[in-house]
Amino acid sequence: MNYIQSVIIAIIEGLTEFLPISSTGHMILASAAMKIHENEFAKTFEIVIQLGAILAIAIMYLKRFLRGINIYLKLIVAFIPTAIVGFLAYDFIKTYLFNPMVVSVSLIIGGIILIIIDKKVENRKSEIKEVEDIPYKNAFYIGLIQCLSMIPGTSRAAATIIGGVFNRFDKKQATEFSFLLAVPTMFAAGGYDLLKTPIDFTRGEIIMLISGLFFAFVSAWVAVKIFLRIVEKYGFQYFGYYRIALGIIFLIFLVW
C-alpha cells in the first residue's frame, strides 16, 4: 500500500461507514481493484481508520451522550449480542468470509432488502418519542440483527437501520440509533482486532495511519450530514439500488 492508496481507502471508509452500503465491503473491493497486498499493515490500517470515523460520530452526537445514562444502557443491551457472536466467530469470519465474492453477493441481497423495507415503512410514524426511550427488549433485538453485519458486504449500518425500523423507530430514529450504536460496537471491534494484530511499522506507515485517521474523520462527518438529509427526503431505496448495481459490477469483474 502506498500513500495515495491509503488516502483513497481512508476516504472510502469515512464516506461509507455510516451509510447502509458496507464500508468493509467497499474497502475489500477497492483494495482488490487497486491490487493492494493484504499484509499485516493493510489489515491494521483498515481497522485504525475506523476509529477516525467513529470519532466524528462521538463529537457530532456529544450532547446526546451527555444527556443521561439511559442511552448508554440501551446501547450496552444492543451491543451484547454482537460482542458474544463476534468473539466466538472472529477467526471463522476473518478466514473464510473476507473476499470479494462474499461481499458482492451480500451487497445485492442487502440492497433488495433495503428497497423492500423502504417501501413498507415509507409513511410510518415513530411509536417512540426519543431514541433513548426504546424498550430494552427492542434494543436487544436490534443488536441481534446487527450480528448479520459480520458478514462482509452486509453493512453494520444497514443491519441496524433495518433492525430499528422493525423495532418501532421511524427512518430517522433508526438511522440515529445506528450511528450511536456504532460507537461501542466499532471501538470494541477495532480494539479487539488491534490486540490480535502484531504492530511493527515503519515511520512512513505510521504517517499513513495518522493521515488515514484524519481523512476518515472528515469524510465521515460530511457523509453523515448528507445521509440524514437524504433519508428524510428520499428514504433508503437509492442506497439499495446502488448496492445492487455495485454488487453486479464486481461479480462481472470477478468472473471475467
In this prediction, residues 139-156 reach a mean pLDDT of 92
pLDDT bucket at 47, cuts 50 / 70 / 90:
confident
pLDDT in tens, 212-233: 999 999 999 999 999 989 988 8
pLDDT of residue 18: 93
Q: How many CB atoms sit inside 10 A of residue 4's CB? A: 9
Question: Which pLDDT tens digit goes with each residue over 95-145?
Answer: 888 888 899 999 999 999 999 988 877 767 777 888 989 999 999 999 999
Q: How many other CB atoms are there within 10 angstroms of residue 19's CB atom?
A: 26
* CA–CA distance, 135 with 95 (Å, rounded to integer): 36
Please enumerate in sequence order all residues whose Cβ is within 8 A of that of 112, keeping only pairs 6 or more positions apart, or say none.
240, 244
Three cell numbers, residue 161:
437501520
Say what the pLDDT of residue 28 is.
83
